[in-house]
C-alpha cells in the first residue's frame, strides 16, 4: 500500500506527529501548501493539523480536496493542547465535515503542546482572550504551566487504522 502524510503545523506538535507517522509507515510527507502532492499514487492519505478555536485548521482544505480523497483510506488527526481523553476533541475534529465525509474518515484527536511564553501572533491573542476575557480556568492554567502531551505512543490507534488498510 502506498500513502502520503499531509500536515499543517503551527507550534511543531502536528509536524512531529506527521514525521513519526511517515517514519512508521514509509509514506511520503507533504506540507498542506505543497502543490505537488501525488494524490493518484496514494491508496492511503493521513492528514493532520492543529485545532484552533475548537476547529481543525484543515477542515476547509479537506472539503476542498474531497474529490481527490474520495475512495481512499483517510485518517485525520487533529492536535490540541486539550487532553483528548477529557476534552470534546473528537467533536472538534469532526465539526466542519458533512455526514458523507465524516463516515469515510477515521478521526484521531491527539494531545499536543502549549507553551504560552513561546507563542506568537493570533494564537497567543486567542489564548489570552480565553484566559482573561472569557475567564476559562483551564486555559489560565495552560498559560501558567506549559503542556506537552506529544508522545509517539499516542499514534497507536491511528497506525493500527492505517495498517489495517
pTM of the entire structure? 0.87
* Residue-level pLDDT, tens digit, the chain, 165 residues: 699 999 999 888 999 999 999 999 999 999 999 988 888 889 999 999 998 878 899 999 999 989 889 999 999 999 988 788 876 888 888 889 988 999 999 999 999 988 777 777 877 787 777 777 777 777 677 667 788 899 999 999 999 999 986
SS3 56: strand
Instruction: Mark whether 32 and 54 lie in a shared domain.
Output: yes
Do 89 and 102 lie in a common domain? yes
Same domain? 121 vs 70:
no
Spatial contact of 81 and 122, defined as CB atoms under 8 Å apart: no
Place of cell 477529557: 86
CATH number of 43's domain: 3.40.50.360
Q: Does one domain contain both 70 and 133?
A: no
The total number of structural domains in the chain stands at: 2
Question: How is 84-150 classified by DSSP, letter by letter?
Answer: TTTS-HHHHHHTTS-HHHHHHEEEEEEE-EE-GGG--HHHHHHHHIIIIIS--HHHHHHHHS-EE--
Q: Which domain holds residue 47?
A: 3-112+149-163
Chain centroid to Cα 38, Å, comes to: 20
Residue 1: per-residue pLDDT: 67
pLDDT, residue 18, reads 98
Predicted pLDDT at 136: 72
119 and 44 in a common domain = no
Q: In the 8-state DSSP scheme, what is residue 5?
A: E
Regarding whether 157 and 96 lie in a shared domain, the answer is: yes
User: What is the enclosing helix (H) or strand (E) of 163?
Assistant: helix 156-163
Q: ∠ CA(93), CA(95), CA(97), 5° rounding?
A: 100
pLDDT of residue 16: 97
Amino acid at each position: 500500500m502506498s500513502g502520503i502524510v499531509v500536515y499543517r503545523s503551527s507550534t511543531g506538535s502536528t509536524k512531529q506527529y506527521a514525521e513519526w507517522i511517515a517514519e512508521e509507515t514509509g509514506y511520503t510527507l507533504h506540507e498542506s501548501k505543497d502543490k505537488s502532492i501525488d494524490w493518484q499514487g496514494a491508496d492511503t492519505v493521513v492528514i493532520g493539523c492543529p485545532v484552533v478555536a475548537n476547529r481543525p485548521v484543515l477542515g476547509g482544505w479537506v472539503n476542498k480536496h474531497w474529490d481527490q480523497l474520495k475512495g481512499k483510506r483517510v485518517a485525520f488527526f487533529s492536535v490540541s493542547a486539550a487532553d483528548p481523553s477529557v476534552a470534546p476533541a473528537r467533536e472538534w475534529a469532526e465539526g466542519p465535515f458533512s455526514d458523507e465525509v465524516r463516515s469515510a474518515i477515521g478521526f484521531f484527536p491527539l494531545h499536543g503542546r502549549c507553551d504560552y511564553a513561546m507563542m506568537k501572533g493570533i494564537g497567543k491573542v486567542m489564548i489570552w482572550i480565553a484566559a482573561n476575557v472569557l475567564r476559562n480556568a483551564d486555559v489560565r492554567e495552560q498559560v501558567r504551566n506549559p503542556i506537552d502531551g506529544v508522545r509517539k505512543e499516542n499514534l497507536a490507534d491511528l497506525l493500527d487504522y492505517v495498517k489495517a488498510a
